[in-house]
A = this chain, B = another copy of it.
Amino acid sequence: MGGDFGPAPVIKGAIKATKKFKIPVTLVGDINQINKYLKKYRSQKNPLINIKHCNDYIKMEDSPVRAVRNKSDSSIIVSYNLIKDQICSSVVSTGNTGAVMVTGSLILKLMPGINRPAIATLIPKAGPFKHTVLLDSGANVDCRVEQLAQFALMGSAYAEIILDKKDPRVALLSNGSEESKGNDIIRAASTKLKSISNLNYVGFIEGKDIPQDKMDVIVCDGLIGNIVLKTMEGGVKLIFDSLKYLAKKTIRGKIGMLISKPVFKLLFKQKLDPASYGGAPLLGLNGISIVCHGSSNAKAVMNAIKLADRLASNNLEKKMLKSLSAEYNTFNTDLEDNVYNEFSSGFKKNKNKK
């Protein structure tokens, strides 16, 4: 209910997922609105679609913590309760990411050995290579050493499924490949990752290695992860905008670009279309949760549902628990009882500023 474009792309995407992948979907939200769209898309009798009515939803501009307190009958809270009650296997949301994170952490609880959930994003590799998992891509601005280690273990388990690869190579993002690079936290995290025997840690990589086939998982804090993802986006736009501008200057340029158009289309489709990934899992909860961009289209929602189904049927949770189990007694998760406390204090801080 709370995405940028309301329920339309979500319902359309869900219908696509039932038809294309035969995945059963429960739509959580206002039953009247849902029925309106199901009628519009001629899917009222789709046997794979269930509806779970609720009266409220969390808006993009709502404070996550306040919303979670006051909107218990909102679509995201009701959705997580469906996982908790083992009625559904996973949640897909295009709504307020902060609210998804806080609600998910409160209702499903964090896995043993996890301080904070992390968002794991797929980024394209150059040439014939497919993807790399980058985490955290924005959920946690400042991270301690053990959080980075948790990201490495969770990312490794996720990559095993999503990249279909045994023993994925895990790298730490730094400002150079030499051991002396990085700040104190990054260097200490490197020492920690070296000590974990069930992790295929390959050391530091630097920014220019990101699209190369040097690793399967990139670990960094959420501030850097967010900046990296958006800088990649910016770099791609730099090339396209500049090519467009320069090509217009000559007839040869215009013709060349016209003929090359299918190649660019293929590049966009294979490498750059965010809808082809659908969404990114919020790792670290006792349950599968996919966060989508607020402006996701139906294709993105469909692919996010496919991703959720794939992670559920490949036992992501069990794989993550196994990956974490050898290490979790070394992590001090008492530091933050739950994400709610931290969010709550963060919220108060911001409130006082105004």
The reply to whether A207 and B229 contact each other, CB–CB distance below 8 Å, is yes
Interface segment out of the listed A14-22, A162-170, A244-252, A296-304: A244-252
Write out the residue numbers on chain B whose beta carbons fall within 8 Å of the beta carbon of A239: 235-236, 239, 267
Contact of A241 among B127, B184, B353 (CB under 8 A): B127
A269-312 interface bits toward B, Cβ cutoff 8 Å, 1 = contact, 0 = none: 01100000000000000000000000000000000000000000
Further contacts, 9 of them, CB under 8 A, given A206-B227, A224-B227: A126-B238, A141-B182, A186-B223, A207-B234, A209-B230, A228-B231, A235-B236, A243-B267, A256-B261
Question: How many chain copies does the complex carry?
Answer: 2
Interface segment out of the listed A1-9, A73-81, A172-180, A327-335: A172-180
The reply to whether A141 and B183 contact each other, CB–CB distance below 8 Å, is yes
Please list the residues of chain A having a beta carbon within 8 angstroms of any beta carbon in chain B. Answer: 124-128, 138, 141-142, 173-176, 179-180, 182-184, 186, 206-212, 222-224, 226-239, 241-247, 249-250, 252-253, 255-264, 266-267, 270-271, 350, 353
CA distance A253 to B261 in the complex (A): 8
The reply to whether A127 and B244 contact each other, CB–CB distance below 8 Å, is yes
Q: List 23 A-B contacts (CB under 8 A).
A: A126-B241, A126-B245, A127-B242, A127-B244, A128-B245, A175-B222, A176-B226, A180-B350, A207-B229, A207-B230, A207-B233, A209-B230, A212-B237, A227-B227, A227-B228, A228-B231, A235-B238, A236-B239, A239-B239, A247-B263, A252-B263, A253-B260, A256-B259
